[in-house]
Amino acid sequence: MKPAQIGLVVRGHGRHYVVEDENGERVHCLTRGKKSDCVVGDRVRWQRSSDHEGVIDKLEPRRNLLFRQDEWKTKSFAANLDRLLVLVAAEPQFSESQLTRALIAADSAGITTDILLNKTDLPQAEAARQRLAPYKAMGQRVLELSLKGRPDEARETLMPLLENQATLVLGPSGTGKSTLINLLVPDAGAQVGEISQALNSGRHTTTTTQWYWLDDRRETALLDSPGFQEFGLRQIPAPELASHMADFKPFLGECRFHNCSHRHEPGCAVLTAVEAGKISPSRYRIYDELWQELSSPPRY
């Protein structure tokens, strides 16, 4: 074994990982033992076992961690992020529930979030703007771009925003996420191929999180995670849910009861705000659904 060094996890599948060393070389690594908690974005202490393979010894402390959720389980999938970029589009219609989940997950992890409305050249764009109006009203930044129609403008808008940060790109199928990756990452295909080669198998590279460098200095990164549908929120206790919703925050602490759930109690400042039109009904409906979900036992 060669001396231990610190590396960056840029891809993972089971116990198989691709770790990038300080010179940018990517090496296939295994973890010791059967269980692994590493995710893309992690810094790990590892050793080379040969010229082309290594062993991960230890996970370094994380700044933050995000989770994905399906019907059966919640699982961590990305760490040490600076920004979340949520793509929505004029067409297809986006899910407000998924959008809210993303914003809550990022807020709880201390990650800045921007919403990008794509395909603004389509006639459905105005309807999408109206659905995003409550988010802009609560201080959420919403960028409007046409990634295919005006690619130069999109690049000029996004690159300064993403500079010197690790940004996770989230977007359902059809919103333009692949277009965004190809627009900002000149050698995206080459980077995927390099990781496939390091893993020595293409079967590990289809549904897991992918790390892309946007610059030669390896200071600006995009992460694409095509395999998950929703953020997992099980790490957040139901009573803390409202504190991660920007439009609820101004009214917290104003309720009659200090442990108010904001669902049925008399003298609730949040319910009063909903009645007064200061919190949108759709946002409150999502809050109520999430409260019930987080208050019930997991299905797995």
Q: From the annotation, which residues make up the binding site for GTP?
A: 118-121, 171-179
The two three-digit tokens of residue 74, written as one number: 């919640």
**Best CA proximity match to 100, nearest among 297, 288, 299:** 288
Question: CA–CA separation, 78 vs 102, rounded Å?
Answer: 13
**Best CA proximity match to 198, nearest among 10, 3, 27:** 27
Annotated binding site for Zn(2+): 255, 260, 262, 268
Cβ atoms 230, 98 nearer than 8 A:
yes
Question: CA–CA separation, 116 vs 174, rounded Å?
Answer: 14
- Alpha-helix runs per DSSP H in the chain: 96-109, 125-137, 151-162, 177-184, 188-199, 269-275, 281-295
The DSSP bridge pattern shows strands 166-170 and 221-224 to be: parallel
Q: Position 227: which residue type?
A: G
Annotated binding site: 118-121, 171-179, 255, 260, 262, 268
Question: Burial level of 230, CB count in 10 A (0-12/13-18/19+)?
Answer: middle
Question: CA–CA separation, 184 vs 154, rounded Å?
Answer: 9
